[in-house]
């Protein structure tokens, strides 16, 4: 077994996949912090679950949303740059982007967008529906 053989078979984690995963985690965390204020406590209380500590996440909603948007934007930039470099007919010096990268970037983009619109367009109607303020 040569090193060359091992490198071909071993999947290397690409930079854009790592950034996409980071953006997804940050986007979901930002979304959680947006819902932690009012909707999650009401929903969990309806299920009989205690949620006293969720309010601690509320101040971090916008910083997490902005950081998530930056991470997702960098992930898309890296993905598109690598995709153009590995376009059809061009010789690609590295492995082409993986399908998992696109899936993670799409999930991250949706989570960040949902986190950004949550306070105004989702939380208020849900609060009315659940009998809150």
Residue 8 lies in a domain: no
DSSP string, 13-50: PPHHHHHHHHHHHHHHHHHHHHHTTTHHHHHHHHTT--
Residue 2 domain-assigned? no
- The pLDDT, as a whole number, for residue 11 is 47
Distance of alpha carbon 34 from alpha carbon 106, whole angstroms: 20
Number of domains in the chain: 1
The pTM assigned to this predicted structure is 0.63
**Residue 109 placed within a domain:** yes
Q: Is residue 79 part of a domain?
A: yes
Nearest Cα neighbor of 46 from 130, 129, 133 is: 130
Whole-number pLDDT of residue 128: 81
Along the chain (133 residues), what's the average pLDDT of each consecutive run of 10 residues?
A: 39 64 80 72 67 71 87 87 74 74 87 86 80 67
Give a yes or no: residue 9 inside a domain: no
Closest CA to 105 of 82, 88, 121, 129: 82
Q: Decide if 91 is inside a domain.
A: yes
Residue 10 lies in a domain: no
The whole domain housing 77 covers 19-130
């Amino acid at each position: 077994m040569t090193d060359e053989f091992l490198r071909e078979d071993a999947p290397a984690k690409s930079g854009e996949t790592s950034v996409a995963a980071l953006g997804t985690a940050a986007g979901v965390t930002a979304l959680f912090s947006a819902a932690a204020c009012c909707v999650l406590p009401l929903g969990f209380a309806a299920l009989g679950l205690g949620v006293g500590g969720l309010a601690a996440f509320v101040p971090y909603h916008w910083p997490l949303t902005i950081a998530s948007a930056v991470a997702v934007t960098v992930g898309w930039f890296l993905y598109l740059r690598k995709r153009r470099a590995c376009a059809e007919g061009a010789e690609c010096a590295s492995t082409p982007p993986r399908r998992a990268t696109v899936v993670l970037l799409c999930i991250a983009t949706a989570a960040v967008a949902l986190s950004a619109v949550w306070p105004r367009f989702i939380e208020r109607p849900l609060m009315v529906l659940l009998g809150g303020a």
